[in-house]
Amino acid sequence: MNPQISNLHGHRFSPSTGVLITGASRGIGAALARAFAAAGATVGINYHKGAAEAQAVLESILEEGGQAVLLPADVAQAQGHDSLLDAFEAATGCAVHVLINNAAIECRQPLLEVSESSLDLTLNINLRGPFLLAQAVAKRMIAGKIHGRIINVSSTHAERAKPHSITYSISKAGLNMMTKGMALELGAHGITANTLVPGAIRTDLNREVLSDLEYERGVVAKIPLGRIAETGELIEATLFLAGEGGAYVTGSSLTVDGGLAL
């Protein structure tokens, strides 16, 4: 058992547990940042363009007595990853014990209209960046003898194609295999790697498409539990993967989708 990741009943982490969450200015990442801080961890709130939103997440955490820092960086820019990790360590005094590769974009385009630049952008943010960031974090975990956790936020669309979202689906399918490969090679170092697989969660990612009520009805019709979820419904599953209860779970995917993938 790694004493640096202590998860008592009700998911408690020690303040020396550093949790870096990419794309934590909004949506699922912001909800996870608040949850990990409330559970006692020290949280790195990464964001790219949403400085004001990230600042609001930080302030809400600090108001609740939590520990967090802002870490602006474009996850697609791998040359900035070491600076991002250095900044987290310098600002918090913590190493990263839990990396949550959450940041992603979805460019909705028909296959025949996908440009090379939008393919590159999606793969760079959703797959290449997370791969290289996880690799950089894993090197530090190994050097620090930290039995850390890597959690990659995937999607049911890694396995279910949907129209006009092929670049997103490809990136998430890659993320699933990346997770398995990381679990395989990092297990010897006591590091786990898993995917969290959300179904349809109400965030900015789908706000525009869900504003079409007919589209929303079509989505809901495919969900056995009959509703779209809120970001908070992913918290328990993520805390589990990061906490002591998830210590023997690796290379796995934890689906929280109301049955959408069935």
Candidates 18-26, 92-100, 176-184, 212-220: pick the segment binding ligand NAP (CB under 6 A): 18-26
168 belongs to the catalytic site: yes
Least CB distance from residue 133 to ligand NAP, whole Å? 10
CA distance 142 to 72: 25
Candidate residues 40, 66, 174, 198; the one interacting with ligand NAP per rule CB under 6 A: 198
Candidates 59-67, 78-86, 179-187, 204-212: pick the segment binding ligand NAP (CB under 6 A): 204-212
| Phi-psi category of residue 176: left, alpha or beta, with phi > 0 → left and psi -120 to 50 → alpha | alpha
Q: Which one, of 149, 129, 152, 132, lies nearest residue 48 by Cα?
A: 129
Q: Which one, of 76, 141, 144, lies nearest residue 105 by Cα?
A: 76
CA distance 245 to 151: 14
Candidates 69-77, 91-99, 140-148, 184-192: pick the segment binding ligand NAP (CB under 6 A): 69-77
Least CB distance from residue 217 to ligand NAP, whole Å? 16
- CB-wise, 58 or 205, nearer to ligand NAP? 205
- CB-wise, 41 or 100, nearer to ligand NAP? 100
Q: Which one, of 93, 81, 60, 196, lies nearest residue 130 by Cα?
A: 81
Q: Which residues of 137-167 are buried (b: 16+ CB within 10 A; e: fewer)?
A: bbebbeeeebbbbbbbbbbbbbeeeeeebbb
Would you count residue 194 as binding ligand NAP (CB under 6 A)? no
Candidate residues 204, 208, 212, 236; the one interacting with ligand NAP per rule CB under 6 A: 204
- CB-wise, 59 or 204, nearer to ligand NAP? 204
- Which residue has tokens 């969900």? 223
CA distance 62 to 159: 39
Which residues in the 20-39 window bind ligand NAP by CB under 6 A? 22-29
Would you count residue 153 as binding ligand NAP (CB under 6 A)? yes
CB neighbourhood size of 123 (10 A) = 17
- Which residue has tokens 């870096």? 20
Would you count residue 67 as binding ligand NAP (CB under 6 A)? no
Least CB distance from residue 74 to ligand NAP, whole Å? 4
Candidates 97-105, 135-143, 180-188, 242-250: pick the segment binding ligand NAP (CB under 6 A): 97-105
H/E element holding 150?
Answer: strand 149-153
Residues forming contacts to ligand NAP in the complex (CB under 6 A) are 22-29, 46-50, 74-76, 102-105, 125, 153, 155, 198, 200-201, 203-206
Residues known to be catalytic:
168
